[in-house]
Amino acid sequence: MSITEQSNAQPLTDDAQGMSYLNRLPRRIVVLYLPLAVFVFVLLFPFYWMAITAVKPNSQLTDYSNFSPFWVVGPTLDHIKYLLFETSYPGWLWNTVVISVCATFLSLAASVFAAYAIERIRFSGSRSVGLMIFLAYLVPPSILFIPLAVIVFKFGIYDTRWALIFTYPTFLIPFCTWLLMGYFRSIPFELEESALVDGASRWQILVRVILPLAVPGMISAGIFAFTLSWNEFIYALTFIQSSENKTVPVGVLTELVRGDVFEWGSLMAGALFGSLPVVILYSFFVDYYVSSMTGAVKE
């Protein structure tokens, strides 16, 4: 195109490109507001259902002919009082916190060293090792819990918190390592080479250069590890027997369901309280989580 043709060309305006197709209200409703409303409804309705069920009297839980299932008349705190003061739920909650925090820190420590070695120390077969670590994460827990049970019994830690603290990293470390590998890959090699020229050791580079830059990635991996540990069910059901050592997912299901009797009010209250710590954790670190995802896919 010549200079004259370029000068005669029509300038680009907001009506010709970008998001101008959303200027009209009907199209904006169909394309933006309606899908957003559906997403918010699907996301929040389970929490709403758990909340109203937790405060419903028993007479309203099944009497849908006289009471609406989507609303509560005369709310009560009996189910919550029963859950907190007549069951071992506070102990289950504390067990879940301790196990999840310990397993998360243990897995992060191992994953940092593994991811750094695979991505930053160039050794033969590093990519194959990274692929095998990722494939290890794909192995279902239903296959691993049988050999792990043998190990747990041999070490004498059955029906203790240590049984879960030491078995959860079997599926947390592969995932965290794979996630941190992507984040370490986005950190420029020039920073590490400059530190090597200045005489820094590998340990000093990891502690003083790589880890400060990888904080968002570590927080993201920690959030995922904590969430997986918090919601884990198979290992907790297999390796824990006594009521006082159970976690929230197992305790709520095994202690509040007696035969064909379901304590729906207490069940929903336990599920609601059990989901709040993860929601709070995400709300505090959502900025780090988003930045870690951006850094991990930068290349």
238-295 pLDDT tens trace: 999 998 899 999 999 888 887 777 888 899 999 999 988 888 887 777 766 666 555 5
Provide the pLDDT confidence category of residue 229 given band limits of 50, 70 and 90.
Answer: very high
Provide the pLDDT confidence category of residue 95 given band limits of 50, 70 and 90.
Answer: very high
Identify the pLDDT of residue 296: 44
Q: Looking at 186-247, list the stretches that DSSP marks H as alpha helix, in order from N- to C-terminal side.
A: 189-197, 202-205, 211-213, 215-231, 234-239
Mean pLDDT of the chain: 84
Residues 6+ apart with CB under 8 A from 270: 83, 89, 248, 251, 252, 256
Task: Give the pTM.
Answer: 0.81
The secondary structure of residue 63, as a DSSP letter, is -
Buried b (16+ CB within 10 A) or exposed e, 216-241: bbbbbbbbbbbbbbbbbeebbbbbbe
Domain ranges of the chain: 15-76, 83-298
Identify the pLDDT of residue 293: 57
Q: Which of 42, 37, 70, 45 is nearest to 56 (CA)?
A: 70
Q: CATH homologous superfamily for 83-298? A: MetI-like (1.10.3720.10)
CB atoms within 10 A of CB 116: 20
Q: What is the mean pLDDT of residues 51-73?
A: 86
Above 50 in pLDDT, residue 59? yes
d(CA 13, CA 154): 73
- Per-residue pLDDT of 74-88, as tens digits, reads 888 999 999 999 889
